[in-house]
Amino acid sequence: MVLLSCSVTEVPPVAEKGQLIAVNYLKKSNYVIQLAGDWEYYPGLLFTPSELPEIKSIREPHYFKFPGIWTKSFLDKGFLAGDGYATFHLELNHGLKGIPLSIKVPEMESAYSLFVDGEKLSSNGVVSASYQTGVPEYRPQIIDFIPKENQTNFLLQISNYHHRKGGPAQLITLGRTSDIHKQYEFQILRDMLLVGSILFMGLYHIFLYWNRKKDPFTYWFALTCIFVALRVFITGNKYLVQLYPNLPWELHLKLSYLSFFFITPIFARYVFLLFKPYFSRRVYELLKYVGYASCFIVLVTRSSFYTYLMVPFQIFTLFGALYTLVVLIRAIRDVQADSIIFLISFVVFVASFVNDILVNNLIINSPLTIHFGIFMMFFVQSIYIARNFSKGFVEAENLAIELSEKNQTLQKVQNQITILNERLETRVKEKTIELQSKLDQITKDMKLAKSIIQSVTKVPEMEPYLNVDILYKPTADVGGDIFFVKRIQDFYYRFFLGDATGHGLQAALYSMMIQSEFERVSAVAMRPNDLLFYMNQHFYDKNADLQIYFPALVMDFDFHQNILRYAGGGVQNQIIMKKNSEPTILENTGPIIGILEHYRYGIFETKVESGDRIFLFTDGLFEELNEEDGMQAWDELLSVIRSTNELSFQEIIPSVQTMLFQKMNKISWKDDSTLIVIEVV
């Protein structure tokens, strides 16, 4: 029984019907007590301790659960829901007569006067029964006094006309003077270490961004750190007010709200840049504009209005945090680097954020922890970065040792090679002169071929009908992929995409032959399938000995009728992303060019409208995704193109290229690759 009783933590007493008996609890020298529970409550009355007996004789007191607020429903009283004034009374039996005591009094909403044993010891602002004379103020204080009896009477006057919450929303703490001051000094040390740590993280990442602007997320990470540090400094013990005692209450409150409202859009930008493929741009825009709009309202309105934004904005921010959790889970599913450790730290942040919402709305009674949650999240990420640097140093050391051993071996081989080089040097000089002359001629021919190809593939002006963006990646200066864009009439445009054989000069010659024939038959071919028919017949009849065979497609846009016409010969399936619908697959309408005589190609027609996107490409763009299964590779390309639905037109090709390289685990293609993205304006 003794062991059991020692293991149970003593629960501090609470006030009942205006009386708090804490004699046994406060016997321990290191115990402090919060004056929580039921205080006597006199709504609509402001009186002094000397008037208390007379008030009690004519009016039965109500009882008010401390801490709490008297705010009525917004639906009942609108923006006056927190307005009012009242007097509270508590009798504390502590048994500490003659022992120095202290009380820590936080801010009250939004002006108060505190009488201890009939003497006014503490106040903030001006308590008044009218809006005209009431003055709000926030200034937490520690009040020292020596009780003359074993019990102490507390009388608290509060008025509010400037905040959505009215009443004693914070706890008053009482204890021995040394314990209260020690506790307060510890809080100062803790908060300053926290502010310094988070602020240092912010400044460090500002310098990272300054020296490496290719990673803009470090800038937004730094801004988040700075605003969190500012919020810790402004809220809680109100260190800003202690540094600047004459700071206006309205300005202080605006800074408190802005330091919270700005965090949501800034942190959303940071997460959006880290996990861009998984974070919806529309959701990010919503978080950004709602956050900045709320900040603007705080700047241009009075506290009696914008303080009502806090609860809706907290709920809105919580939904944003939950969406971020979904984004992180999707990133983990796709094995995105760093996503697991980010998720763990972010869960800690969300838990601390939910705790603060519950505390600020008096649902639970616990310390504010949002700054600790964000600090832990950033601290975990810093550990992860340091670990990666450590791994890099270890690998560098191992490579240095291995390189030293290899250098010794190479030195022996180099001595042998030096002897051989001396013998070969004369012969190399002779061959170098011969090869250089040939290389100069080849280089000249290649530059000419490249210049010719660039001139014939120039895209004409297409406003106001089409936006066009092209990804053209030949493996040599001149590749086998060839494309032409031609304006037949002001409202009629034709696109041609083919895959000629070979690279270099051979590909350039073939491309010129194809381009010449395309220009010739475009004047007479009214539809895409007619153009393929004429080109097929030409290469079958005239170039049979050369054996020129190539896949090609033709796509026409007729904006008199808003019709797209398509014909494909031996190419892979192409893709139309219709606005707000599933993709349309464009299949072949005939064989490759030059293989069958007199072949009549089919044609595909469809209506187009603003926002439709068409993707034309050669097989080199995707075949390396799965070299053994071409259909599987095409399906993976389709999934990549689907993921660009929410992107702007300018972001499509960079995003497709990045995601394809990630899937292929490389930074270049082995074959010529061409992607033409067309958007109907």
Give Cα separations from 328 to 124, 343, 344 (angstroms): 46, 6, 10
For residue 3, being part of any structural domain is answered with: no
Q: Which of 413, 439, 455 is the last residue of a domain?
A: 455
Is residue 415 located within the same domain as residue 483? no
Q: Which of 135, 151, 180 is the last residue of a domain?
A: 180
Least confident segment among 149-153, 226-230, 589-593, 614-618: 226-230
For residue 645, being part of any structural domain is answered with: yes
For residue 70, being part of any structural domain is answered with: yes
CATH number at residue 80: 2.60.120.260
pLDDT band at 389 (very low <50, low <70, confident <90, very high): very low
Calculate mean pLDDT across residues 231-257: 88
- Answer whether 557's CB lies under 8 Å from 620's CB: no
Is residue 239 located within the same domain as residue 170? no
Is residue 535 located within the same domain as residue 593? yes
Calculate mean pLDDT across residues 625-632: 82
Is residue 281 located within the same domain as residue 372? yes
CATH number at residue 565: 3.60.40.10
- Examine the pLDDT at 488 and tell me if it is beyond 80: yes
Is residue 359 located within the same domain as residue 255? yes
Structure tokens at 660: 């394809």
Amino acid type, 448: L
For residue 1, being part of any structural domain is answered with: no
- Examine the pLDDT at 507 and tell me if it is beyond 80: no
Q: Of all residues in the chain, what percent carry a pLDDT higher than 90?
A: 44
Q: How many domains does the chain have?
A: 4
- Examine the pLDDT at 572 and tell me if it is beyond 60: yes
For residue 4, being part of any structural domain is answered with: no
Is residue 210 located within the same domain as residue 317? yes
> Per-residue pLDDT tens for 432-465?
777 776 766 666 666 766 667 777 778 888 889 9
3-state SS assignment for residue 592: coil
- Examine the pLDDT at 2 and tell me if it is beyond 50: no
Is residue 450 located within the same domain as residue 462? no
DSSP state string for 328-362: HHHHHHTT-TTHHHHHHHHHHHHHHHHHHHHHHTT
Kindly report the average pLDDT of the chain as a whole number. 86
H or E, element range at 564: strand 563-569
Is residue 259 located within the same domain as residue 301? yes
The reported pTM is 0.55
Q: Which of 354, 387, 420 is the last residue of a domain?
A: 387
> Per-residue pLDDT tens for 152-203?
999 999 999 989 889 998 889 999 999 999 999 988 888 888 888 888 888 8
- Answer whether 518's CB lies under 8 Å from 496's CB: yes
Is residue 445 located within the same domain as residue 470? no
For residue 190, being part of any structural domain is answered with: no
Is residue 571 located within the same domain as residue 628? yes
Quote the domain boundaries for residue 672: 457-680
For residue 334, being part of any structural domain is answered with: yes
Is residue 426 located within the same domain as residue 473? no
Tell me, letter by letter, the H, E, C secondary structure of 371-439: HHHHHHHHHHHHHHHHHHHHHHHHHHHHHHHHHHHHHHHHHHHHHHHHHHHHHHHHHHHHHHHHHHHHH
Is residue 374 located within the same domain as residue 270? yes
- Answer whether 32's CB lies under 8 Å from 10's CB: no
500 burial level (CB within 10 Å; 0-12, 13-18, 19+): buried
CA distance 64 to 167: 10
Q: How far is CA 133 from the centre of its chain?
A: 46
- Examine the pLDDT at 581 and tell me if it is beyond 70: yes
Give Cα separations from 242 to 184, 234, 367, 491 (angstroms): 14, 10, 21, 71
For residue 6, being part of any structural domain is answered with: no
